[in-house]
Structure 1
Amino acid sequence: MSSISIARVFAAVAALVSTASAACTRESLLASAQAYVDAQKTGNTNALKLSPTFKYQQNNKERALSAGLITTPFKLDLVRSTADTVACASYTMWISSSGSKPYVVGTQIRHDGNDTSTITLIDTIAATTGDLFFNASKTLGYIRKEDWTPINNTGSMPSRELLKKVGDGYLDMWTDPKAADSIPWGTECERVEGSQYTNPCGKSLPHGGSSKPNGMRRTDLVCRYVIDEVQGSVDILCQFDSLGTMPDSHEIRVVDGKVKYVHTITALKVG
Protein backbone atom coordinates (compact mmCIF):
# COMPACT_ATOMS: atom_id res chain seq x y z
CA MET A 1 0.00 0.00 0.00
CA SER A 2 1.37 3.39 -0.92
CA SER A 3 2.11 6.05 1.66
CA ILE A 4 -0.73 8.15 0.17
CA SER A 5 -3.22 5.28 0.63
CA ILE A 6 -2.07 4.71 4.20
CA ALA A 7 -2.48 8.39 4.96
CA ARG A 8 -6.02 8.27 3.56
CA VAL A 9 -6.88 5.28 5.77
CA PHE A 10 -5.60 7.06 8.87
CA ALA A 11 -7.54 10.18 7.91
CA ALA A 12 -10.72 8.16 7.47
CA VAL A 13 -10.23 6.44 10.84
CA ALA A 14 -9.57 9.80 12.52
CA ALA A 15 -12.74 11.21 10.99
CA LEU A 16 -14.76 8.26 12.29
CA VAL A 17 -13.31 8.63 15.78
CA SER A 18 -14.04 12.36 15.74
CA THR A 19 -17.62 11.75 14.67
CA ALA A 20 -18.13 9.11 17.37
CA SER A 21 -16.72 11.29 20.13
CA ALA A 22 -18.90 14.22 19.08
CA ALA A 23 -22.15 12.25 19.14
CA CYS A 24 -24.57 13.70 21.70
CA THR A 25 -27.06 10.89 22.21
CA ARG A 26 -29.66 10.31 24.87
CA GLU A 27 -27.72 7.27 26.03
CA SER A 28 -24.43 9.14 26.36
CA LEU A 29 -26.04 12.03 28.22
CA LEU A 30 -27.70 9.70 30.73
CA ALA A 31 -24.42 7.79 31.14
CA SER A 32 -22.67 11.05 32.00
CA ALA A 33 -25.44 11.91 34.45
CA GLN A 34 -24.99 8.48 36.05
CA ALA A 35 -21.26 9.12 36.41
CA TYR A 36 -22.15 12.30 38.31
CA VAL A 37 -24.55 10.34 40.54
CA ASP A 38 -21.88 7.70 41.22
CA ALA A 39 -19.44 10.45 42.19
CA GLN A 40 -22.03 12.00 44.51
CA LYS A 41 -22.65 8.67 46.25
CA THR A 42 -18.97 8.24 47.05
CA GLY A 43 -17.82 11.86 47.25
CA ASN A 44 -15.04 10.90 44.82
CA THR A 45 -14.86 12.82 41.54
CA ASN A 46 -11.72 11.16 40.12
CA ALA A 47 -13.68 9.11 37.58
CA LEU A 48 -15.42 12.15 36.08
CA LYS A 49 -14.05 13.11 32.67
CA LEU A 50 -13.76 16.89 32.81
CA SER A 51 -12.91 19.18 29.92
CA PRO A 52 -9.94 21.61 30.15
CA THR A 53 -12.46 24.47 30.48
CA PHE A 54 -14.55 22.72 33.14
CA LYS A 55 -16.46 24.82 35.68
CA TYR A 56 -18.40 23.87 38.78
CA GLN A 57 -21.20 26.11 39.98
CA GLN A 58 -23.25 25.69 43.17
CA ASN A 59 -26.21 27.87 44.08
CA ASN A 60 -25.30 30.34 41.35
CA LYS A 61 -21.71 30.82 42.46
CA GLU A 62 -18.65 29.35 40.78
CA ARG A 63 -16.37 27.45 43.11
CA ALA A 64 -13.64 24.82 43.04
CA LEU A 65 -14.91 21.29 42.49
CA SER A 66 -13.08 20.23 45.65
CA ALA A 67 -15.17 22.72 47.64
CA GLY A 68 -18.48 21.55 46.21
CA LEU A 69 -21.26 19.40 47.62
CA ILE A 70 -20.26 16.69 45.15
CA THR A 71 -17.22 15.80 47.26
CA THR A 72 -19.43 14.83 50.21
CA PRO A 73 -20.84 11.27 49.98
CA PHE A 74 -24.60 10.89 50.34
CA LYS A 75 -27.04 8.01 50.56
CA LEU A 76 -29.46 8.85 47.77
CA ASP A 77 -33.12 7.95 48.28
CA LEU A 78 -34.26 9.08 44.84
CA VAL A 79 -32.46 9.85 41.59
CA ARG A 80 -34.06 10.82 38.27
CA SER A 81 -32.35 12.21 35.16
CA THR A 82 -33.55 13.72 31.89
CA ALA A 83 -31.61 14.36 28.68
CA ASP A 84 -31.56 17.14 26.07
CA THR A 85 -29.80 16.07 22.87
CA VAL A 86 -30.21 19.52 21.27
CA ALA A 87 -28.51 21.46 24.09
CA CYS A 88 -26.25 18.44 24.86
CA ALA A 89 -27.14 18.63 28.53
CA SER A 90 -28.83 16.60 31.25
CA TYR A 91 -30.76 17.37 34.41
CA THR A 92 -30.61 15.22 37.53
CA MET A 93 -32.71 15.53 40.66
CA TRP A 94 -31.60 13.66 43.76
CA ILE A 95 -32.92 13.50 47.29
CA SER A 96 -31.11 12.44 50.44
CA SER A 97 -33.50 12.49 53.39
CA SER A 98 -31.40 10.70 56.00
CA GLY A 99 -28.48 11.82 58.10
CA SER A 100 -27.82 15.09 59.88
CA LYS A 101 -27.80 17.13 56.65
CA PRO A 102 -30.63 16.19 54.25
CA TYR A 103 -30.63 17.66 50.74
CA VAL A 104 -32.82 18.07 47.68
CA VAL A 105 -30.63 18.85 44.68
CA GLY A 106 -31.09 19.71 41.01
CA THR A 107 -28.04 19.56 38.72
CA GLN A 108 -27.57 20.39 35.06
CA ILE A 109 -24.55 18.85 33.31
CA ARG A 110 -23.39 20.42 30.05
CA HIS A 111 -21.08 19.29 27.25
CA ASP A 112 -19.53 21.64 24.69
CA GLY A 113 -19.21 20.88 21.00
CA ASN A 114 -21.92 18.22 21.07
CA ASP A 115 -19.32 15.93 22.65
CA THR A 116 -20.31 13.95 25.74
CA SER A 117 -16.85 12.44 26.21
CA THR A 118 -16.05 15.26 28.67
CA ILE A 119 -18.08 17.46 31.01
CA THR A 120 -17.85 21.23 30.58
CA LEU A 121 -20.13 22.39 33.40
CA ILE A 122 -21.77 20.97 36.51
CA ASP A 123 -24.37 23.50 37.64
CA THR A 124 -26.08 22.64 40.93
CA ILE A 125 -28.94 24.08 42.96
CA ALA A 126 -28.83 22.52 46.43
CA ALA A 127 -31.44 23.05 49.15
CA THR A 128 -31.10 21.88 52.74
CA THR A 129 -32.46 22.52 56.22
CA GLY A 130 -33.50 26.15 56.58
CA ASP A 131 -34.09 26.75 52.86
CA LEU A 132 -37.46 27.69 51.40
CA PHE A 133 -40.21 25.22 52.40
CA PHE A 134 -37.53 22.57 52.92
CA ASN A 135 -38.42 19.11 54.16
CA ALA A 136 -36.62 16.33 52.30
CA SER A 137 -38.78 13.52 53.67
CA LYS A 138 -42.02 15.18 52.60
CA THR A 139 -40.61 16.04 49.17
CA LEU A 140 -39.42 12.45 48.74
CA GLY A 141 -42.85 11.11 49.65
CA TYR A 142 -44.59 13.26 47.03
CA ILE A 143 -42.16 12.71 44.18
CA ARG A 144 -41.82 8.97 44.69
CA LYS A 145 -45.50 8.59 43.81
CA GLU A 146 -45.18 10.39 40.47
CA ASP A 147 -45.39 8.60 37.13
CA TRP A 148 -42.44 9.42 34.88
CA THR A 149 -43.10 6.77 32.25
CA PRO A 150 -41.41 7.89 28.99
CA ILE A 151 -43.69 9.20 26.24
CA ASN A 152 -42.85 6.65 23.56
CA ASN A 153 -45.37 7.87 20.99
CA THR A 154 -43.63 10.62 19.00
CA GLY A 155 -46.95 12.23 18.14
CA SER A 156 -47.77 12.64 21.84
CA MET A 157 -44.49 14.29 22.81
CA PRO A 158 -44.72 18.01 23.60
CA SER A 159 -42.63 20.21 21.31
CA ARG A 160 -39.52 22.02 22.47
CA GLU A 161 -41.31 25.29 21.75
CA LEU A 162 -44.20 24.39 24.06
CA LEU A 163 -41.87 23.26 26.84
CA LYS A 164 -39.84 26.48 26.59
CA LYS A 165 -43.02 28.53 26.66
CA VAL A 166 -44.34 26.70 29.72
CA GLY A 167 -41.04 27.03 31.58
CA ASP A 168 -40.68 30.73 30.88
CA GLY A 169 -44.36 31.37 31.52
CA TYR A 170 -44.10 29.84 34.95
CA LEU A 171 -41.14 32.01 35.94
CA ASP A 172 -42.82 35.09 34.47
CA MET A 173 -45.98 34.78 36.62
CA TRP A 174 -44.56 37.02 39.33
CA THR A 175 -44.10 39.98 36.97
CA ASP A 176 -46.55 39.35 34.10
CA PRO A 177 -50.24 39.32 35.14
CA LYS A 178 -51.13 37.30 32.01
CA ALA A 179 -48.45 34.60 32.31
CA ALA A 180 -50.36 32.23 34.62
CA ASP A 181 -53.32 32.08 32.24
CA SER A 182 -51.05 31.31 29.27
CA ILE A 183 -49.96 27.98 30.77
CA PRO A 184 -51.93 24.82 29.85
CA TRP A 185 -52.67 23.53 33.34
CA GLY A 186 -53.83 19.94 33.71
CA THR A 187 -56.89 19.15 35.82
CA GLU A 188 -54.91 16.47 37.68
CA CYS A 189 -51.51 18.06 38.19
CA GLU A 190 -49.27 18.32 41.21
CA ARG A 191 -47.00 21.14 42.32
CA VAL A 192 -44.23 20.47 44.83
CA GLU A 193 -42.47 23.67 45.91
CA GLY A 194 -39.84 22.64 48.39
CA SER A 195 -42.13 20.44 50.47
CA GLN A 196 -45.34 22.41 49.85
CA TYR A 197 -47.86 20.34 47.87
CA THR A 198 -50.60 21.84 45.69
CA ASN A 199 -53.16 19.95 43.59
CA PRO A 200 -54.28 21.08 41.06
CA CYS A 201 -51.20 22.94 39.82
CA GLY A 202 -53.17 25.93 38.59
CA LYS A 203 -54.46 26.78 42.06
CA SER A 204 -53.31 29.89 43.97
CA LEU A 205 -51.00 31.33 41.33
CA PRO A 206 -49.37 34.79 41.25
CA HIS A 207 -50.60 37.23 38.63
CA GLY A 208 -47.83 39.81 38.60
CA GLY A 209 -47.07 42.19 41.44
CA SER A 210 -43.26 42.09 41.41
CA SER A 211 -41.11 44.55 39.49
CA LYS A 212 -38.12 42.20 39.43
CA PRO A 213 -38.15 39.43 36.79
CA ASN A 214 -36.62 36.10 37.73
CA GLY A 215 -33.16 36.28 36.20
CA MET A 216 -29.96 34.33 35.66
CA ARG A 217 -31.78 31.93 33.36
CA ARG A 218 -28.43 31.01 31.86
CA THR A 219 -28.23 33.67 29.15
CA ASP A 220 -27.97 31.47 26.05
CA LEU A 221 -31.44 30.81 24.62
CA VAL A 222 -30.74 27.09 24.25
CA CYS A 223 -28.57 26.51 27.28
CA ARG A 224 -30.85 28.06 29.85
CA TYR A 225 -33.03 24.96 29.44
CA VAL A 226 -32.75 21.21 29.69
CA ILE A 227 -35.63 19.99 27.53
CA ASP A 228 -36.48 16.31 27.23
CA GLU A 229 -39.34 15.63 24.82
CA VAL A 230 -39.31 11.91 25.69
CA GLN A 231 -40.09 12.78 29.31
CA GLY A 232 -42.09 15.86 28.36
CA SER A 233 -40.02 17.97 30.74
CA VAL A 234 -38.18 21.26 30.97
CA ASP A 235 -35.82 22.37 33.72
CA ILE A 236 -34.60 25.95 34.17
CA LEU A 237 -31.96 27.04 36.64
CA CYS A 238 -32.28 30.68 37.62
CA GLN A 239 -32.19 33.24 40.38
CA PHE A 240 -35.60 33.89 41.91
CA ASP A 241 -35.28 37.67 41.95
CA SER A 242 -39.03 38.29 42.23
CA LEU A 243 -38.90 37.16 45.85
CA GLY A 244 -35.20 37.74 46.55
CA THR A 245 -31.82 36.69 45.18
CA MET A 246 -32.51 32.99 45.67
CA PRO A 247 -30.83 30.24 43.59
CA ASP A 248 -33.61 28.16 42.07
CA SER A 249 -34.48 25.18 39.88
CA HIS A 250 -37.89 24.87 38.25
CA GLU A 251 -38.78 21.60 36.55
CA ILE A 252 -42.10 21.09 34.76
CA ARG A 253 -43.54 17.99 33.08
CA VAL A 254 -46.17 18.21 30.33
CA VAL A 255 -48.29 15.17 29.42
CA ASP A 256 -50.93 15.21 26.65
CA GLY A 257 -50.33 18.92 26.19
CA LYS A 258 -51.09 19.79 29.83
CA VAL A 259 -48.88 20.49 32.84
CA LYS A 260 -48.70 17.35 35.00
CA TYR A 261 -45.93 18.08 37.54
CA VAL A 262 -44.06 21.12 38.83
CA HIS A 263 -40.99 20.86 41.09
CA THR A 264 -39.10 23.74 42.64
CA ILE A 265 -35.81 23.63 44.54
CA THR A 266 -34.99 26.98 46.12
CA ALA A 267 -32.01 27.92 48.29
CA LEU A 268 -32.17 31.10 50.32
CA LYS A 269 -28.68 32.32 49.55
CA VAL A 270 -26.10 32.32 46.77
CA GLY A 271 -23.08 30.06 47.11
Structure 2
Amino acid sequence: MKVIQFIWIVLTGALIAPATGLAQISCTREGLQQAVDLYIAAQTKGDTSGMPLAAQVGYMENMVPADINKGLIKQPMKIDFHRSLLDTATCQTFTEVIVTNREKPYVLGTRLRVNRDKIAEIEILWTTTGYWLFDADNYLKYSSTENWDPIPESKRDSRATLIRAATAYFDAFLEGKTDQVPWGYPCRRLEGGMYTGKGAPDDTCAVGVPSGVNIANRRFIVDETIGAVVAFCTFGAGAPLAGGAPDTHLFRVENGKLRWVHTLTHLLMSDFRGKVPGKEGAAPPKKQ
Protein backbone atom coordinates (compact mmCIF):
# COMPACT_ATOMS: atom_id res chain seq x y z
CA MET A 1 0.00 0.00 0.00
CA LYS A 2 2.81 2.38 0.86
CA VAL A 3 4.44 1.68 -2.51
CA ILE A 4 1.20 2.58 -4.33
CA GLN A 5 0.89 5.80 -2.30
CA PHE A 6 4.49 6.74 -3.13
CA ILE A 7 3.97 6.16 -6.86
CA TRP A 8 0.79 8.28 -6.73
CA ILE A 9 2.67 11.15 -5.05
CA VAL A 10 5.43 11.01 -7.66
CA LEU A 11 2.97 10.97 -10.57
CA THR A 12 0.91 13.79 -9.10
CA GLY A 13 4.03 15.90 -8.59
CA ALA A 14 5.07 15.33 -12.19
CA LEU A 15 1.67 16.38 -13.47
CA ILE A 16 1.38 19.61 -11.48
CA ALA A 17 5.04 20.70 -11.77
CA PRO A 18 5.59 23.57 -14.22
CA ALA A 19 7.54 22.95 -17.41
CA THR A 20 11.25 23.32 -16.77
CA GLY A 21 12.52 26.78 -17.59
CA LEU A 22 9.27 28.29 -18.89
CA ALA A 23 7.85 29.16 -15.45
CA GLN A 24 11.11 30.82 -14.42
CA ILE A 25 10.99 33.62 -17.01
CA SER A 26 10.39 36.95 -15.27
CA CYS A 27 11.78 40.46 -14.81
CA THR A 28 14.03 39.49 -11.90
CA ARG A 29 17.74 38.94 -12.55
CA GLU A 30 17.17 35.22 -12.17
CA GLY A 31 14.22 35.28 -14.56
CA LEU A 32 16.07 37.35 -17.15
CA GLN A 33 19.09 35.05 -16.90
CA GLN A 34 16.77 32.11 -17.56
CA ALA A 35 15.52 33.88 -20.69
CA VAL A 36 19.11 34.34 -21.85
CA ASP A 37 19.93 30.69 -21.14
CA LEU A 38 16.96 29.56 -23.21
CA TYR A 39 18.00 31.90 -26.04
CA ILE A 40 21.56 30.54 -26.03
CA ALA A 41 20.21 26.99 -26.16
CA ALA A 42 17.88 27.96 -29.01
CA GLN A 43 20.62 29.69 -31.01
CA THR A 44 22.93 26.73 -30.50
CA LYS A 45 20.33 24.33 -31.91
CA GLY A 46 18.67 26.69 -34.37
CA ASP A 47 15.39 25.77 -32.71
CA THR A 48 13.20 28.19 -30.77
CA SER A 49 10.66 25.60 -29.60
CA GLY A 50 12.17 25.64 -26.09
CA MET A 51 11.67 29.41 -25.72
CA PRO A 52 8.46 30.71 -24.10
CA LEU A 53 7.62 33.07 -26.96
CA ALA A 54 4.64 35.38 -26.93
CA ALA A 55 1.92 34.46 -29.43
CA GLN A 56 2.91 37.37 -31.68
CA VAL A 57 6.57 37.72 -30.76
CA GLY A 58 8.34 40.65 -32.39
CA TYR A 59 11.48 39.65 -34.30
CA MET A 60 14.03 42.01 -35.85
CA GLU A 61 17.41 41.70 -37.53
CA ASN A 62 19.64 44.73 -37.98
CA MET A 63 16.80 47.01 -36.88
CA VAL A 64 14.37 45.74 -39.53
CA PRO A 65 11.33 43.52 -38.78
CA ALA A 66 11.91 39.99 -40.06
CA ASP A 67 10.27 36.57 -40.21
CA ILE A 68 11.48 34.60 -37.21
CA ASN A 69 10.99 31.33 -39.10
CA LYS A 70 13.51 32.49 -41.72
CA GLY A 71 15.75 34.36 -39.32
CA LEU A 72 19.31 33.89 -38.16
CA ILE A 73 17.97 32.51 -34.89
CA LYS A 74 17.01 29.39 -36.84
CA GLN A 75 20.62 28.81 -37.87
CA PRO A 76 22.47 26.42 -35.53
CA MET A 77 25.71 27.89 -34.18
CA LYS A 78 28.56 26.62 -32.04
CA ILE A 79 28.87 29.52 -29.60
CA ASP A 80 32.39 30.07 -28.29
CA PHE A 81 31.63 32.84 -25.83
CA HIS A 82 28.76 35.01 -24.65
CA ARG A 83 28.20 37.74 -22.07
CA SER A 84 24.91 39.29 -21.01
CA LEU A 85 23.41 42.40 -19.47
CA LEU A 86 20.25 42.00 -17.39
CA ASP A 87 18.07 45.10 -17.13
CA THR A 88 15.38 44.55 -14.52
CA ALA A 89 14.05 48.11 -14.87
CA THR A 90 12.98 47.61 -18.51
CA CYS A 91 12.73 43.80 -18.43
CA GLN A 92 15.29 43.42 -21.20
CA THR A 93 18.56 41.61 -21.81
CA PHE A 94 21.49 42.06 -24.16
CA THR A 95 23.84 39.25 -25.09
CA GLU A 96 27.12 39.49 -26.97
CA VAL A 97 27.54 36.20 -28.86
CA ILE A 98 30.81 35.14 -30.52
CA VAL A 99 31.00 32.30 -33.07
CA THR A 100 34.40 31.55 -34.63
CA ASN A 101 33.26 28.78 -37.00
CA ARG A 102 35.55 29.05 -40.04
CA GLU A 103 32.76 28.64 -42.57
CA LYS A 104 30.18 30.88 -40.88
CA PRO A 105 31.71 33.12 -38.21
CA TYR A 106 29.50 35.66 -36.48
CA VAL A 107 29.43 38.19 -33.70
CA LEU A 108 25.88 38.97 -32.58
CA GLY A 109 24.26 41.50 -30.31
CA THR A 110 20.92 40.05 -29.19
CA ARG A 111 18.21 41.89 -27.27
CA LEU A 112 15.32 40.14 -25.54
CA ARG A 113 12.31 41.80 -23.94
CA VAL A 114 10.33 39.79 -21.43
CA ASN A 115 6.65 40.42 -20.79
CA ARG A 116 5.68 38.65 -17.57
CA ASP A 117 6.49 35.01 -18.35
CA LYS A 118 6.92 35.32 -22.13
CA ILE A 119 9.62 36.59 -24.46
CA ALA A 120 7.85 39.33 -26.39
CA GLU A 121 10.73 40.66 -28.53
CA ILE A 122 13.91 39.30 -30.05
CA GLU A 123 16.27 41.63 -31.87
CA ILE A 124 19.58 40.51 -33.37
CA LEU A 125 22.25 42.76 -34.82
CA TRP A 126 24.76 40.56 -36.61
CA THR A 127 28.14 40.94 -38.26
CA THR A 128 30.12 38.42 -40.25
CA THR A 129 32.88 38.14 -42.86
CA GLY A 130 33.05 41.24 -45.03
CA TYR A 131 31.42 43.53 -42.47
CA TRP A 132 33.00 46.41 -40.59
CA LEU A 133 36.51 45.37 -39.42
CA PHE A 134 35.08 41.89 -38.72
CA ASP A 135 37.36 39.39 -36.99
CA ALA A 136 35.57 36.87 -34.76
CA ASP A 137 38.86 35.36 -33.55
CA ASN A 138 40.05 38.73 -32.28
CA TYR A 139 36.65 39.47 -30.77
CA LEU A 140 36.86 36.20 -28.84
CA LYS A 141 40.48 36.74 -27.86
CA TYR A 142 39.95 40.14 -26.32
CA SER A 143 36.36 40.03 -25.07
CA SER A 144 36.79 36.74 -23.24
CA THR A 145 39.82 37.97 -21.31
CA GLU A 146 38.34 41.26 -20.09
CA ASN A 147 37.00 41.59 -16.55
CA TRP A 148 33.26 42.28 -16.56
CA ASP A 149 32.66 40.75 -13.13
CA PRO A 150 29.95 42.13 -10.84
CA ILE A 151 30.95 45.35 -9.11
CA PRO A 152 30.63 45.48 -5.31
CA GLU A 153 27.29 47.04 -4.45
CA SER A 154 28.85 49.96 -2.57
CA LYS A 155 30.90 50.90 -5.66
CA ARG A 156 28.23 50.54 -8.34
CA ASP A 157 27.34 53.49 -10.52
CA SER A 158 23.69 54.45 -10.89
CA ARG A 159 21.65 53.79 -14.00
CA ALA A 160 21.73 57.51 -14.77
CA THR A 161 25.53 57.63 -14.48
CA LEU A 162 25.96 54.70 -16.88
CA ILE A 163 23.65 56.22 -19.48
CA ARG A 164 25.30 59.61 -19.04
CA ALA A 165 28.75 58.11 -19.75
CA ALA A 166 27.52 56.42 -22.94
CA THR A 167 25.68 59.56 -24.03
CA ALA A 168 28.77 61.74 -23.57
CA TYR A 169 30.75 59.30 -25.74
CA PHE A 170 28.13 59.44 -28.51
CA ASP A 171 27.75 63.20 -28.31
CA ALA A 172 31.48 63.63 -28.80
CA PHE A 173 31.17 62.12 -32.28
CA LEU A 174 28.84 64.89 -33.40
CA GLU A 175 30.30 67.87 -31.59
CA GLY A 176 33.92 66.82 -31.12
CA LYS A 177 33.80 67.62 -27.40
CA THR A 178 35.94 64.76 -26.12
CA ASP A 179 36.68 66.66 -22.93
CA GLN A 180 33.09 65.95 -21.84
CA VAL A 181 33.61 62.16 -22.00
CA PRO A 182 34.47 60.42 -18.70
CA TRP A 183 37.54 58.60 -20.01
CA GLY A 184 38.98 55.95 -17.75
CA TYR A 185 42.52 54.56 -17.86
CA PRO A 186 43.29 52.13 -19.13
CA CYS A 187 40.40 52.05 -21.61
CA ARG A 188 40.33 49.74 -24.62
CA ARG A 189 37.99 49.65 -27.61
CA LEU A 190 37.05 46.50 -29.52
CA GLU A 191 35.60 47.53 -32.86
CA GLY A 192 34.41 44.73 -35.13
CA GLY A 193 37.61 42.89 -34.29
CA MET A 194 40.14 45.73 -34.21
CA TYR A 195 41.53 46.38 -30.71
CA THR A 196 42.95 49.73 -29.62
CA GLY A 197 44.69 48.53 -26.47
CA LYS A 198 48.38 47.72 -26.20
CA GLY A 199 48.33 46.51 -22.62
CA ALA A 200 49.67 49.82 -21.31
CA PRO A 201 48.26 51.61 -18.24
CA ASP A 202 47.62 54.72 -20.36
CA ASP A 203 45.62 52.92 -23.08
CA THR A 204 42.77 55.18 -24.14
CA CYS A 205 39.46 54.89 -25.98
CA ALA A 206 39.77 58.52 -27.10
CA VAL A 207 41.89 57.62 -30.12
CA GLY A 208 40.26 58.35 -33.48
CA VAL A 209 37.07 59.97 -32.18
CA PRO A 210 35.79 62.24 -35.00
CA SER A 211 33.37 65.12 -35.17
CA GLY A 212 30.38 65.61 -37.43
CA VAL A 213 29.07 62.03 -37.10
CA ASN A 214 25.57 61.66 -35.71
CA ILE A 215 24.89 58.55 -33.61
CA ALA A 216 21.09 58.59 -33.45
CA ASN A 217 18.09 56.46 -32.44
CA ARG A 218 19.74 55.38 -29.20
CA ARG A 219 18.02 52.67 -27.14
CA PHE A 220 19.74 51.79 -23.87
CA ILE A 221 19.88 48.58 -21.87
CA VAL A 222 21.56 48.91 -18.48
CA ASP A 223 22.98 46.48 -15.94
CA GLU A 224 24.22 48.31 -12.85
CA THR A 225 25.42 45.06 -11.27
CA ILE A 226 28.22 44.66 -13.82
CA GLY A 227 28.60 48.37 -14.56
CA ALA A 228 27.49 47.97 -18.17
CA VAL A 229 25.30 49.81 -20.64
CA VAL A 230 24.65 49.05 -24.30
CA ALA A 231 22.95 51.15 -26.95
CA PHE A 232 21.30 50.00 -30.14
CA CYS A 233 21.77 52.98 -32.45
CA THR A 234 22.25 54.28 -36.00
CA PHE A 235 25.84 55.24 -36.80
CA GLY A 236 26.18 58.14 -39.22
CA ALA A 237 22.50 59.07 -39.32
CA GLY A 238 21.31 62.12 -41.24
CA ALA A 239 24.43 62.66 -43.34
CA PRO A 240 24.02 63.62 -47.02
CA LEU A 241 23.62 60.56 -49.26
CA ALA A 242 23.85 58.28 -46.24
CA GLY A 243 21.21 56.38 -44.32
CA GLY A 244 23.41 55.32 -41.44
CA ALA A 245 24.34 51.83 -40.28
CA PRO A 246 22.70 49.64 -37.60
CA ASP A 247 25.11 49.55 -34.67
CA THR A 248 25.57 48.57 -31.03
CA HIS A 249 27.99 50.15 -28.57
CA LEU A 250 28.59 48.25 -25.34
CA PHE A 251 30.35 49.99 -22.43
CA ARG A 252 31.87 48.88 -19.13
CA VAL A 253 31.97 51.76 -16.65
CA GLU A 254 33.87 51.75 -13.35
CA ASN A 255 33.67 54.63 -10.86
CA GLY A 256 31.90 56.67 -13.52
CA LYS A 257 34.72 56.18 -16.05
CA LEU A 258 34.77 54.22 -19.33
CA ARG A 259 36.95 51.09 -19.26
CA TRP A 260 35.85 48.90 -22.18
CA VAL A 261 33.97 49.76 -25.37
CA HIS A 262 32.73 47.08 -27.79
CA THR A 263 31.13 47.99 -31.12
CA LEU A 264 29.26 45.98 -33.75
CA THR A 265 28.29 47.68 -37.01
CA HIS A 266 26.15 46.06 -39.70
CA LEU A 267 28.03 47.69 -42.56
CA LEU A 268 29.73 45.96 -45.47
CA MET A 269 33.30 47.16 -45.91
CA SER A 270 32.62 47.38 -49.66
CA ASP A 271 29.87 49.94 -48.96
CA PHE A 272 32.06 52.17 -46.83
CA ARG A 273 33.07 55.67 -47.93
CA GLY A 274 36.07 56.95 -46.03
CA LYS A 275 39.43 56.05 -44.64
CA VAL A 276 40.13 52.70 -43.02
CA PRO A 277 40.40 51.63 -40.26
CA GLY A 278 38.83 54.67 -38.60
CA LYS A 279 35.08 54.49 -38.61
CA GLU A 280 35.81 56.61 -35.58
CA GLY A 281 36.90 59.55 -37.73
CA ALA A 282 35.73 58.50 -41.19
CA ALA A 283 32.82 59.40 -43.44
CA PRO A 284 29.40 57.87 -42.85
CA PRO A 285 28.29 54.79 -44.79
CA LYS A 286 26.88 55.00 -48.29
CA LYS A 287 23.16 54.61 -48.70
CA GLN A 288 22.38 51.00 -49.56
Q: How does 1:1-271 map to 2 (within 5 A)?
A: 24-112=27-115, 115=116, 117-151=117-151, 153-178=152-177, 180-199=178-197, 200-210=203-213, 213-217=214-218, 224-242=219-237, 244=242, 245-268=244-267
> Which amino acid is 1:121 matched to?
E
Q: Is the 8 A contact 2:24 2:34 kept in 1?
A: no
Between the aligned partners of 2:165 and 2:208, the Cα distance in structure 1 is 14
Q: Is the 8 A contact 1:39 1:45 kept in 2?
A: yes
Higher RCO, 1 or 2 (CA under 8 Å, sep at least 6)?
1
> Which amino acid is 1:229 matched to?
E
Change (3 A) 1:28 1:22: closer
Q: Is the 8 A contact 2:25 2:32 kept in 1?
A: no
Between the aligned partners of 1:203 and 1:235, the Cα distance in structure 2 is 18
Q: Is the 8 A contact 1:60 1:239 kept in 2?
A: no
Partner of 1:3: none
Please give the per-residue CA displacement for 1:204-250, whole angstroms capped at 9, x wherever unaligned: 2425223xx22232xxxxxx211000000001111212585211111
Shift in Å at residue 54 of structure 1? 1.4
Shift in Å at residue 136 of structure 1? 0.5
Between the aligned partners of 2:71 and 2:26, the Cα distance in structure 1 is 29
Between the aligned partners of 1:163 and 1:63, the Cα distance in structure 2 is 31
Between the aligned partners of 1:21 and 1:97, the Cα distance in structure 2 is 31
Change (3 A) 1:28 1:169: same
Between the aligned partners of 2:24 and 2:33, the Cα distance in structure 1 is 15
Please give the per-residue CA displacement for 1:64-85, whole angstroms capped at 9, x wherever unaligned: 1111111000001101111000
SS state at 2:139 partner:
helix
* Aligned sequence identity (%): 35
Structure with greater Cα Rg: 2
Please give the per-residue CA displacement for 1:20-45, whole angstroms capped at 9, x wherever unaligned: 98952001001101111100000001
SS state at 1:121 partner:
strand
Between the aligned partners of 2:261 and 2:44, the Cα distance in structure 1 is 26
Shift in Å at residue 185 of structure 1? 1.1
TM-score by length of 2: 0.78
Change (3 A) 1:214 1:134: same
**Could you say what the CA RMSD is over the residues aligned between the two structures, in angstroms?**
2.1
Between the aligned partners of 1:207 and 1:99, the Cα distance in structure 2 is 34
**How many residues matched?**
239
Gap runs ≥5 in structure 1: 1-19, 218-223
Q: Is the 8 A contact 1:216 1:239 kept in 2?
A: yes
